[in-house]
């Protein structure tokens, strides 16, 4: 090949590479910097950030909003977090429904919609994840960032060869040093994800949290699904909630799992062990996460229908049933809303004087009837002081 022809190929290649860098770079930056508007609900009395509880995080990518809903009437305190794993959208959508709608009649409710903000600023292009998803509301379409299970490598890099959990010293998978549900109870001078958990532990201690709820979703191939995972201190509440919801509300049952004592870093284990709070974790099914799924797009994320996952079910490879109706986002969010309400109701019955009475939150059947979007407020019509950005 002549020198001139070689140079032409090199120049064309570099032009194509620079063009792809610009196009992909713009898309990545747009996703990382996209802000979701949240209209603080009627009972939100204060909006702090995680940095208010752990100063090193102030102003950082991990500095998520902490919504405080205080009834002014003495009672208990419930702390609800969504977005631990931002690839599980029913979690942040549920937390946002609570932040925008809940009316507190007694006690205090604290909410983090995007518990791991860093993980919500990155997706998995190699797994064909969409960057955003859109929810239809009564006033238009609301756009949300899709995220990943792990904190953004831009905020925590490189991973160690082996992640040694603090303080148990248990050895875990290397990438789980960026997994917020493997870094509890956190470490003051650790990685950013360990610091996030340390910050949340400060919230739990400073706000005297009585009941902690961590929202999640799981693939149907995973055995811990459609369940409440409970620390020993919360087993009675979880068992009662599981029975009540299965009997009275849900089309498909919700179970209970005991938090394993020897598996460290998970919220249901470490928060119960390192604070006075009762710790529970809720799981709903999300076919989007299954490894055997087909086309990976926004439709699968929101409708939860996939023929390949269904086929896996026919071969008995799943831990949850799935049919042509799939697991739509309305069903998943509805289950999280009802489970949270039921758990708080049982908490109130079993802890007189420490009640947290939450009203104006839709139950399972309401969310299915009206759709998730029905419960989101229009930020353009809200007073500016009431609008916060995630």
Partner 1 sequence: MGILNTVIEFSYYLLSAFIAFVLIREIYKTENYQEAVLYSVILVPFILRILRIK
DSSP-based three-state secondary structure for 290:
coil
**Rule CB under 8 A: is residue 317 a binding residue for partner 1?**
no
In this structure, are residues 253 and 226 in contact, taking their beta carbons and an 8 Å threshold? yes
- Judged by CB under 8 A, does residue 208 bind partner 1? no
Q: Which is nearer to partner 1, 9 or 162 (CB)?
A: 9
- Cβ contact 257:232 at 8 Å: no
**One of 33, 169, 189, 323 touching partner 1 (CB under 8 A):** 189
Q: Which is nearer to partner 1, 188 or 311 (CB)?
A: 188
Position 14 contacts partner 1 (CB under 8 A): yes
Contacting partner 1 within 74-133 (CB under 8 A): 122
Q: How far is the CB of 17 from partner 1 (least distance, A)?
A: 5
Q: Spell out the residues 6+ positions from residue 341 whose beta carbon is closer than 8 angstroms to its own.
A: 358, 361, 363
Among 23, 25, 291, 378, binds partner 1 (CB under 8 A): 25
User: How far is 198 from 189, CA to CA, in rounded Å?
Assistant: 9
**Calpha distance 365→361 (Å, rounded):** 12
> What tokens does 284 get?
């709903």
Applying CB under 8 A, which part among 8-16, 72-80, 224-232, 262-270 lies near partner 1? 8-16
Q: Does 167 bind partner 1 (CB under 8 A)?
A: no
Residues 339-378 that bind partner 1 (CB under 8 A): none
User: What SS3 state is found at 111?
Assistant: strand
Q: Does 174 bind partner 1 (CB under 8 A)?
A: no
- Helix or strand or coil: residue 30? helix
| CB of residue 293 to partner 1, shortest distance in Å | 24
**Shortest spacing between CB 24 and partner 1, in angstroms:** 7
Who contacts 74 (Cβ-Cβ below 8 Å, separation ≥6)?
A: 106, 107, 353
Choose between 71 and 156: whose C-beta lies nearer to partner 1. 156
Residue pair 211/280 in contact by the 8 Å Cβ criterion: yes
Q: Is 295 among the residues that bind partner 1 (CB under 8 A)?
A: no
Distance between CA atoms of 269 and 172, rounded to whole angstroms?
15
Smallest distance, Å, CB 29 to partner 1? 6
- Decide if 104 contacts 43 (C-beta within 8 A): yes
Name the one range near partner 1 by CB under 8 A: 18-26, 112-120, 355-363, 369-377: 18-26
Residue (29 or 173) nearer to partner 1, CB? 29
Of 190, 255, 294, 328, the one binding partner 1 (CB under 8 A) is: 190
Of the two residues 14 and 173, which places its CB atom closer to partner 1 in the complex? Answer: 14
- Applying CB under 8 A, the span of 25-33, 41-49, 66-74, 372-380 interacting with partner 1 comes to 25-33
Of 140 and 160, the one with the shorter C-beta distance to partner 1 is 160
Of residues 42, 128, 140, 157, which one binds partner 1 by CB under 8 A?
157
Residue 113 CA from chain centroid, whole number: 7
Contacts of 208 (CB under 8 A, 6+ apart): 77, 276
Q: Where are the alpha helices (DSSP H) in 72-157?
A: 89-101
Residue 19 binds to partner 1 (criterion: CB under 8 A): no
Of 3-11, 131-139, 142-150, 287-295: span binding partner 1 (CB under 8 A): 3-11
Q: Is 29 in the site for partner 1 (CB under 8 A)?
A: yes
Stretch touching partner 1 by CB under 8 A, among 2-10, 296-304, 336-344, 347-355: 2-10
SS3 172: strand
Q: 329-350 vs 235-248: helix axis angle to the nearest 10? A: 130
Say how far apart CA 333 and CA 285 lie, in whole Å: 10
The enclosing H or E element of 112 equals strand 108-112
With beta carbons less than 8 A apart as the criterion, state whether 111 and 95 touch: yes
Give the residue with the Cβ less far from partner 1, 17 or 248: 17
- Given the rule CB under 8 A, which residues bind partner 1? 1, 3, 6, 9-10, 13-14, 16-17, 20-21, 24-25, 28-29, 122, 154, 157-158, 187, 189-191
């Amino acid at each position: 090949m002549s020198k001139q022809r070689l140079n032409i190929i090199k120049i064309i290649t570099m032009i194509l590479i620079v063009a792809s860098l610009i196009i992909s770079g713009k898309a990545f930056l747009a996703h990382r910097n996209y802000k979701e508007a949240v209209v603080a609900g009627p009972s939100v009395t204060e909006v702090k950030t995680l940095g208010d509880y752990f100063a090193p995080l102030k102003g950082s990518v991990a500095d998520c909003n902490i919504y405080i809903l205080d009834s002014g009437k003495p009672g208990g305190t419930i702390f609800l977090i969504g977005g631990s794993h931002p690839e599980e959208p029913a979690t942040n959508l549920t937390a946002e429904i609570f932040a925008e709608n809940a009316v507190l009649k007694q006690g205090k409710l604290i909410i983090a919609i995007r518990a791991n903000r860093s993980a919500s600023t990155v997706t998995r292009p190699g797994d064909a994840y969409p960057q955003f998803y859109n929810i239809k509301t009564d006033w238009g379409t609301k756009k949300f960032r899709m995220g990943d299970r792990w904190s953004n490598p831009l905020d925590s890099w490189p991973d160690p060869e082996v992640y040694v959990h603090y303080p148990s010293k248990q050895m875990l998978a290397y990438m789980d040093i960026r997994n917020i549900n493997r870094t509890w109870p956190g470490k003051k001078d650790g990685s950013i994800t360990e610091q996030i958990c340390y910050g949340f532990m400060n919230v739990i201690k400073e706000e005297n949290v009585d009941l902690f709820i961590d929202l999640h979703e799981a693939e149907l191939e995973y055995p811990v699904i459609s369940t409440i995972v409970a620390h020993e201190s919360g087993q009675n509440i979880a068992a009662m909630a599981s029975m009540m919801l299965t009997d009275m509300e849900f089309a498909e049952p919700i179970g209970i799992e005991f938090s394993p004592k020897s598996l460290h870093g998970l919220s249901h284990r470490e928060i119960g062990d390192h604070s006075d709070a009762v710790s529970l974790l809720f799981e709903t099914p999300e076919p989007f996460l299954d490894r055997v799924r087909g086309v990976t797009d926004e439709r699968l994320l929101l409708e939860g229908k996939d023929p390949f996952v269904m086929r896996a079910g026919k071969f008995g490879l799943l831990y949850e049933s799935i049919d042509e109706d799939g697991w739509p986002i309305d069903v998943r969010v509805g289950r999280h809303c009802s489970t949270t309400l039921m758990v708080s109701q049982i908490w109130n019955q079993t802890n007189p004087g420490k009640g947290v009475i939450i009203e104006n939150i839709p139950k399972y059947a309401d969310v299915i009837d009206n759709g998730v979007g029905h419960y989101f407020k229009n930020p353009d019509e809200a007073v500016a002081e009431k609008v916060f950005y995630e």
